[in-house]
Amino acid sequence: MFEILLLSCLSLCGTDGAVPRGVSLTPLCVALQQEPQGEGVRKAEQKKVEDKAPPIEKLNPVNREKAKRFLRALKTTNPKRRRTHEDKIIALGRGAIPVLLEKRGTTNANQAVGLERCLFELLDVRDADILKELTGSKKLWHRRVAAMKYSSSGRDKDRDALKAFIKDSDMSIRFEAALGLVRLADPTGIGEIVLKIGQGDDKDRKRALEDLNLLKGHVYSSHFRSLATRHEDPKVRKATIEVIVAIGDRKVKDVLGLTLSDDHNLVKSAAVNGLRKLLKDEEPITFPTVFDLVDAVEKWKKELGLIRK
């Protein structure tokens, strides 16, 4: 459009570039000025569409009855069977959301587990009104659905919601919120991740360690010193070392140096292997005897200048 208008202007000019008498370029100038505005309007309209959640279309009577039947089946104590019916509900699409919400007050623990997964899969993070209701609920699984949706969004606009969930009374919700903040390179909830990993759940540990390198350059020793050296549970102190290594920031090697003097061999082993990985990119090793571990600890203390060589 711009090129056509420009050529039109040029065709009206003489060979000397002058505009012939009686010819006005005002309409063309106005058109040229309005073209970018039209593009801006289109972009604004596009953004409005992107900020709007997909529609929740009403299920036909047959599928609505199916959804209700599948919902009743979620009460089963058989996890595999429950999962099968969850998949059937999810396959019905977003139209099943109103049916699911009708049962959000359930007191059946098994059904609540199924509802949690179905709502998480079917809701969009832009379903603002529904997520607001779930966020303010007293029911744990309601809040967890909202926390998981915000956590998985990767949107900076959800940062405040995630920080609010960091204060939740439930550890699983605080963990989800902390993971969401990690994806925004925000270390606010790093302590919650350490505590959850310290519980020994391999699934949670794997989920956390996959994203922690996003914090490189954003986290410093002040976030770890207390957890690594003063927490009463050696598993939490060990988990702190794992988080430090996963982030991969050499600025926190001083904290690892402090953990070499821990009174628990589990933590000392993690400290040695953490330093190997962080500073030399070497794979972890095992220590056949306590004496081997003591030798390794002494070696690293000398290398870090903690004792004289």
- The residue extents of the domains of the chain are 59-122, 125-136+146-186, 187-309
**Residue 75, C-beta contacts closer than 8 angstroms, at least 6 positions apart:** 108, 110, 111
Token readout for 275 is 């330093």
Q: How far apart are CA 167 and CA 16, in angstroms?
A: 73
The structure's pTM equals 0.78
Q: Is 63 exposed, middle or buried (0-12, 13-18, 19+ CB in 10 A)?
A: middle
**H-helix segments, 74-158:** 79-91, 97-102, 109-122, 128-135, 140-153
Q: What per-residue confidence (pLDDT) applies to 283?
A: 93
Share of residues in the chain with pLDDT > 70 (%): 82
pLDDT digits (tens, 9 = 90+) for 201-240: 889 999 998 889 898 877 766 678 888 999 999 999 999 9
Q: How far apart are CA 204 and CA 192, in angstroms?
A: 12
Q: Is 268 exposed, middle or buried (0-12, 13-18, 19+ CB in 10 A)?
A: buried
Question: Among all chains, which residue has been given the structure tokens 């500073």?
Answer: 279
Residue 73: in which H helix or E strand, if any? helix 61-73
Q: How far apart are CA 149 and CA 113, in angstroms?
A: 16
pLDDT-based confidence at residue 4 (cuts at 50, 70, 90): very low
| 66, pLDDT greater than 90 | yes
Burial track 70-91 (b if 16+ CB lie within 10 A, e otherwise)? bbebbebeeeeebeebbebbbe
- What average pLDDT score do residues 28-45 get? 48
Cβ atoms 256, 243 nearer than 8 A? no
